[in-house]
């Protein structure tokens, strides 16, 4: 099993990506488990932020790292929340526990999205995942894979699974919101699944 540092401390993202990479022989280790702080994400595109995070983690661990920068892009909002998806709504941190705070943030983000879409006729959107992998911090040839998962924003939360905007993202081809999907179905259709499949193809072609 080849170890790959994941430039994230999001436990749910780690679980999703681990399920996608483990069958190919990769063990993902969250950077927080190695004492690596999170990188700044000052950029306006997914690819720039993912590259910054991957390089930061690779430099700190002196080895290979992979980063995912992902979010929701809503057409009626000009692509918002985009790279600001995780922190779309302003939320003061009152919970010391990371996952409880993330749940508070998710709830606030969903409320803000619904508020901004009130009266909108067009509710098309897509989840976007951009994965960047580097062999080392100064790798001149980072691998880049992008997955897009189109759907529509519903008018009320549906489902208890997933995280983030999953309860609002309806997938017409599956007839359910992402939060209503079981883990296996999500992992075989999602934006991260599409990006991971492409990333594994690139890694097998260029890293081995």
Mean pLDDT of 52-75: 96
The 3-class secondary structure across the chain, one letter per residue, is CEEEEECCCCHHHHHHHHHHHHHHCEEEEEHHHHCCCCCCCCCCCHHHHHHHHHHHHHHHHCCCEEEEEEEEEEHHHCCCEHHHHHHCCCCCCCCCCHHHHHHHHHHHHHHHHHHHCCCCCCCEEEEEEEEEEECCCCCCCCEEEEEEEEEEECCCCCCCCCCCCHHHEEECCCCEEHHHCCHHHHHHHCHHHHHHHHHHHHHHHHCC
Asked about 106 being catalytic, the answer comes back as no
pLDDT band, residue 12 (cuts 50/70/90): confident
Report pLDDT digits (tens) over 161-196. 888 999 999 999 999 999 999 989 998 999 999 999
From 52, 3, 56, 49, select the one nearest 26 (Cα to Cα): 3
Report pLDDT digits (tens) over 92-143. 877 677 778 888 999 999 999 999 999 999 999 999 999 999 999 999 999 9
Given this model, what pLDDT does residue 75 score?
97
- Look at residue 208 and tell me whether its pLDDT is greater than 80: no
**At a CB cut-off of 8 Å and minimum separation 6, what does 205 contact?**
none
- Look at residue 35 and tell me whether its pLDDT is greater than 70: yes
Given this model, what pLDDT does residue 101 score?
84
Active-site annotation holder among 40, 68, 69, 97: 69
Task: List the chain domain ranges.
Answer: 2-206
**Pick the residue with more confidence: 145 or 2?**
145
Given this model, what pLDDT does residue 93 score?
76
Give CA–CA dist 132/13, Å, rounded. Answer: 15
Domain 2-206 in this protein, CATH class: alpha beta
């Amino acid at each position: 099993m080849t170890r790959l540092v994941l430039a994230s401390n999001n436990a749910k993202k780690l679980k999703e990506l681990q399920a996608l990479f483990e069958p190919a022989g990769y063990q993902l280790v969250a950077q927080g488990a190695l004492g690596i702080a999170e990188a700044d994400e000052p950029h306006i595109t997914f690819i720039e932020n993912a590259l910054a995070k991957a390089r930061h983690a690779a430099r700190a661990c002196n080895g290979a790292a992979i980063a995912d920068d992902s979010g929701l892009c809503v057409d009626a909002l000009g692509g918002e929340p985009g790279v600001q998806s995780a922190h779309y709504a302003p939320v003061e941190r009152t919970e010391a526990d990371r996952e409880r705070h993330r749940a508070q943030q998710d709830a606030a983000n969903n409320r803000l999205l619904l508020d901004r879409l009130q009266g909108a006729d067009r509710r098309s959107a897509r989840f976007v995942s951009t994965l960047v992998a580097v062999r080392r911090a100064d790798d001149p040839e980072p691998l880049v894979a992008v997955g897009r998962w189109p759907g529509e924003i519903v008018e009320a939360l549906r489902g208890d699974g997933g995280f983030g905007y999953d309860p609002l993202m309806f997938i017409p081809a599956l007839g359910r919101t992402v939060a209503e999907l079981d883990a296996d179905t999500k992992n075989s259709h999602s934006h991260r699944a599409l990006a991971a499949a492409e990333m594994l193809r690139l890694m097998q072609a260029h890293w081995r």
